[in-house]
């Protein structure tokens, strides 16, 4: 039996919820299931306002519009991230100024941000890689000093926290920046196939967020009875998912605690089994910064070279195990390299070349993880 890299978890209540949505006669967006999902996040994490979207990419595009990013503006983005974190702002005409990762973690190096700020800088869009918090105290300090909007790409960060300084109350990721975006793609902890969510934490953006969400119309105001008719009042797009997708998502949210408990147990097993190999200096094991919690989105290793990493992925594949590299540094991408200012981003490139993600999904058993461990040990001949 092969062990795939990812297997979307089905809780068992999805079809019943979808059937309920279908029978309700309301298939388009912003119905009962959409509201239930949004309220779940608002209540559980204290997010000020949540709006479901058809993808995290959609939610990031909404962030770019709401932050008022336009032609010639600069946005600071980590070089080591998925395309969407940068693309959402490029579509608004912005120039992306890529920042390097930390040496000890793929997340943005908070110390690398301030030297990149210019009078044109509008926003910082950062990513909580593998669901582990960026150094939000440091990021917030720079953003406040220069009046920048902070956007969290929390695509991988559901149910994860920034613990911050000693005795500080943990803050949920997605609830710290002015705006945030989550993903419910089927590679994420919670899924409805394709889906996402915008989080608005800053009051300045709340009223406009609904308009941008509903094709630039004041439809929400109309249904509240605040205006006599609704029409075109702003820019926007059709960012809403259908009730079918929201119903599916609700069946997952109902089981969030169970999903997280099971994933974290698998992650802990990986940690224990791989510790002797990492301690032996074969590769670096995944690090969780002191100010971050782990939400078991990913288990990854960092190899010593690209050749070694690519060989390991090939070796695992030959043993029926799915493993995957991750982002190609965006400043080296075909689309953007010509516009990059030429600065070298050493740590981004190192993670781009050397990081490998191992299988992690609900239902991955201890025996499976043993097999992965043995295959990795076999590659290193230990």
The residue from 30, 34, 81, 149 that contacts ligand PLP (CB under 6 A) is 81
Q: Which is nearer to ligand PLP, 190 or 303 (CB)?
A: 190
The residue from 185, 309, 331, 371 that contacts ligand PLP (CB under 6 A) is 185
Measured between alpha carbons, how far is 77 from 123 in angstroms, rounded to an integer? Answer: 9
Span interacting with ligand PLP, options 41-49, 76-84, 93-101, 353-361, rule CB under 6 A:
76-84
- The length of the chain is 382
In the bound complex, what is the minimum distance in angstroms from residue 58's beta carbon to ligand PLP?
7
**Phi-psi label, residue 272: left if phi above 0, alpha if psi -120 to 50, beta otherwise:** alpha
Q: Which is nearer to ligand PLP, 299 or 379 (CB)?
A: 299
> Which among 96, 153, 102, 99 is positioned nearest to 337, based on CA atoms?
96
When asked if residue 94 is in the footprint of ligand PLP (CB under 6 A), the reply is no
Q: Which is nearer to ligand PLP, 239 or 379 (CB)?
A: 239
The residue from 34, 101, 121, 183 that contacts ligand PLP (CB under 6 A) is 183
When asked if residue 196 is in the footprint of ligand PLP (CB under 6 A), the reply is yes
Interface positions, 125-164, toward ligand PLP (CB under 6 A): 127, 153, 155-156
* DSSP string covering 63-83: HHHHTT--TT-EEEEESSS-H
Contact 139, 151 (CB under 8 A): no
When asked if residue 78 is in the footprint of ligand PLP (CB under 6 A), the reply is no
Contact 206, 49 (CB under 8 A): yes
Interface positions, 353-372, toward ligand PLP (CB under 6 A): none
Q: What angle do CA 21, 51, 14 make, to 5 degrees?
A: 30
Measured between alpha carbons, how far is 263 from 41 in angstroms, rounded to an integer? Answer: 20
Span interacting with ligand PLP, options 7-15, 41-49, 79-87, 342-350, rule CB under 6 A:
79-87
Span interacting with ligand PLP, options 49-57, 282-290, 304-312, 331-339, rule CB under 6 A:
49-57
Which SS3 state, helix, strand or coil, does residue 231 take?
coil
Span interacting with ligand PLP, options 81-89, 115-123, 352-360, 362-370, rule CB under 6 A:
81-89
Q: Which is nearer to ligand PLP, 173 or 282 (CB)?
A: 173
The residue from 56, 66, 251, 369 that contacts ligand PLP (CB under 6 A) is 56
> How far from 54 is each of 10, 203, 207, 367, CA to CA, in Å?
19, 23, 20, 36
Q: Pairing state of beta strands 179-183 and 196-200? A: antiparallel
Measured between alpha carbons, how far is 80 from 327 in angstroms, rounded to an integer? Answer: 6
What does the binding site for ligand PLP look like in residue numbers (CB under 6 A)?
55-57, 81-82, 84-85, 127, 153, 155-156, 183, 185, 196
């Amino acid at each position: 039996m092969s062990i795939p890299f990812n297997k979307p978890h089905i809780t068992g209540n999805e079809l019943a919820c979808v059937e309920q949505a279908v029978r309700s006669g309301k298939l388009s967006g912003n119905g009962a299931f959409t509201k239930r999902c949004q309220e779940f996040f608002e209540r559980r994490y204290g997010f000020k306002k949540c709006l479901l979207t058809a993808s995290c990419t959609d939610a990031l595009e909404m962030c770019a519009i709401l932050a008022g990013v336009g032609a010639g503006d600069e946005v600071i983005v980590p070089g080591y991230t998925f395309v969407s974190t940068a693309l959402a702002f490029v579509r608004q005409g912005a120039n992306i100024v890529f920042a390097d990762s930390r040496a000890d973690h793929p997340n943005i190096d908070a110390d690398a941000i301030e030297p990149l700020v210019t009078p044109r800088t509008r926003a910082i869009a950062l990513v909580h890689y593998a669901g582990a918090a960026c150094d939000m105290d440091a990021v917030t300090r720079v953003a406040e000093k220069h009046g920048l909007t902070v956007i969290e790409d929390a695509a991988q960060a559901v149910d994860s926290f920034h613990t911050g300084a000693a005795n500080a109350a943990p803050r949920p990721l997605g609830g710290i920046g002015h705006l945030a975006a989550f993903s419910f793609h089927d590679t994420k902890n919670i899924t409805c196939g394709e889906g996402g969510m915008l989080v608005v934490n800053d009051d300045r953006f709340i009223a406009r967020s609904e308009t941008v969400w509903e094709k630039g119309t004041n439809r929400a105001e109309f249904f509240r009875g605040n205006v006599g008719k609704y029409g075109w009042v702003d820019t926007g797009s059709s960012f809403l998912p259908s009730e079918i997708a929201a119903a599916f998502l609700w069946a997952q949210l109902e089981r969030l605690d169970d999903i997280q408990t099971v994933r974290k147990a698998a992650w802990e097993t990986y940690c224990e089994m791989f510790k002797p190999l990492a301690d032996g200096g074969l590769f670096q094991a995944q690090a969780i910064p002191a100010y971050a919690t782990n939400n078991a989105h990913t288990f990854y290793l960092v190899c010593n070279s690209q050749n070694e990493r690519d060989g390991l992925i090939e070796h695992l594949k030959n043993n029926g195990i799915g493993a995957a590299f991750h982002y190609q540094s965006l400043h080296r991408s075909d689309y953007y390299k010509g516009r990059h200012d030429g600065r070298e981003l050493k740590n981004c490139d190192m993670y781009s070349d050397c990081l490998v993600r191992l299988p992690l999904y609900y239902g991955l058993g201890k025996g499976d993880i043993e097999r992965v461990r043995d295959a990795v040990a076999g590659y290193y001949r230990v």
